[in-house]
């Protein structure tokens, strides 16, 4: 399938346009109701999307509802059915796999627009996604650069991945491939499946890894939620922050703060803002546009070298 690319600059301009004032928000718009189905609403990444969507809908005069299905497919199906019953005009589904396709198809047949984000199954009107293998490679390259420059290539690495869906598996494979290619003298001590986005998994896993591998100096995570927990666990264990690196993906405020503060978090891959894109493409669906191509976004590697461009500490 072909891909459309929406750059971070374009997405940022979209946000600025929406925030610029009355010319964007006072125009009369047809009322709609948006439902956001998230795997969890306990991590900063998904909370940020939820808050952003709520604001986008308020600015447009739309109703909004969000539900966490807690990584439970049966709960996701029930939530989709409830959103249809609750008169949602569009469902933004961040599902993990095709287990919800039947429910999404029924919703679609009832006239509900289906947006999938982060995964592509057979049932959708538009897909917002990224080449997850490429994201993994970007994370791995970022970690490799630091290992080569800071540790003379002698990294002792643990990779945190997950098999919760094919996209995340692809991301994990990309991380490993990039490390092996770009930091050939580094040793991958273990690849750990830390499961789904469960609060506390990064903490517990890192405590165990630090005990198991006393010479561990690099952790590469598939996402910021586990990485931030790992950062705090590593600091609590007294690691040398200058020579201990954690790398991940999502561009959350906590990860960016860690980079800015000189903590073990040394890098994260930042996506273009998702909430404005989701709202924009919902509107385009309501306006009758159709999308055969996956809509993809650019990603930026954020490290100490460019952190000032993306993060400013609150006073």
Please write the tens of the pLDDT for every residue from 181-200.
Answer: 999 999 999 999 987 656 78
Check: CB of residue 136 under 8 Å from CB of residue 175: yes
Domains 3-129+272-298 and 132-270 share a fold: yes
What tokens appear for 272 in the block? 């273009």
What is the number of helices (H) and of strands (E) in the chain? Answer: 11, 13
Q: Which CATH number fits domain 132-270: 3.20.20.70, 3.40.50.2300, 3.10.20.30, 3.40.50.300?
A: 3.40.50.2300
pLDDT digits (tens, 9 = 90+) for 125-167: 999 988 889 999 999 999 999 999 999 999 999 999 988 777 7
pLDDT at 306 over 50: yes
Q: Where are the domains positioned within the chain?
A: 3-129+272-298, 132-270
- Distances in Å between the Cα of 218 and the Cα atoms of 173, 188, 195, 245, 259 are 17, 9, 20, 5, 14
Question: Residue 248: what pLDDT?
Answer: 97
Neighbouring C-beta atoms of residue 102, cutoff 10 Å: 12
Q: Name the pTM for this structure.
A: 0.74
Per-residue pLDDT, 29:
66
pLDDT digits (tens, 9 = 90+) for 222-259: 999 999 999 999 999 999 999 999 999 999 999 999 99
Kindly state which CATH superfamily the domain 3-129+272-298 is placed in. Answer: Response regulator (3.40.50.2300)
Among 112, 147, 138, residue whose Cα is nearest residue 126: 112
Instruction: Please give the Cα distance from 262 to 59 (Å, whole number).
Output: 37
């Amino acid at each position: 399938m072909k891909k459309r690319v929406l750059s971070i600059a374009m997405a940022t301009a979209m946000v600025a346009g929406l925030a610029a004032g009355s010319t964007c928000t006072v125009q009369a718009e047809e009322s709609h109701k948006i439902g956001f189905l998230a795997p969890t609403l306990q991590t900063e990444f998904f909370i940020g999307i939820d808050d952003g969507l709520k604001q986008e809908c308020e600015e447009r005069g739309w109703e909004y509802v969000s539900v966490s299905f807690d990584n439970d497919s049966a709960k996701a199906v029930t939530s989709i059915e409830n959103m249809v019953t609750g008169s949602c005009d569009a469902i933004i589904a961040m599902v993990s796999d095709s287990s919800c396709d039947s429910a999404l198809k029924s919703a679609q047949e009832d006239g509900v627009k289906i947006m999938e984000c982060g995964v592509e199954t057979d049932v959708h009107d538009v897909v917002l996604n990224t080449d997850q293998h490429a994201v993994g490679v970007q994370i791995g390259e970022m970690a490799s650069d630091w290992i080569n420059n800071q540790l003379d290539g002698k990294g002792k690495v643990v990779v945190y991945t997950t098999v919760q869906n094919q996209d995340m598996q692809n991301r994990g494979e990309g991380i490993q491939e990039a490390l092996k290619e770009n930091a050939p003298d580094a040793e991958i001590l273990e690849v750990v499946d830390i499961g789904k986005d469960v609060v506390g998994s990064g903490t517990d896993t890192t405590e165990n890894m630090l005990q198991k591998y006393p010479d561990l100096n690099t952790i590469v995570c598939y996402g910021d939620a586990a990485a931030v927990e790992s950062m705090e666990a590593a600091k609590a264990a007294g690691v040398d922050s200058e020579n201990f690196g954690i790398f991940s993906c999502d561009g959350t405020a906590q990860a960016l703060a860690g980079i800015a503060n000189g903590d073990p978090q040394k890098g994260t891959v930042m996506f273009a803002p998702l909430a404005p894109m989701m709202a924009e493409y919902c509107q385009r669906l309501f306006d009758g546009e159709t999308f055969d191509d996956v809509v993809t976004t650019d990603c930026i590697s954020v490290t100490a070298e460019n952190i000032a461009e993306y993060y400013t500490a609150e006073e």
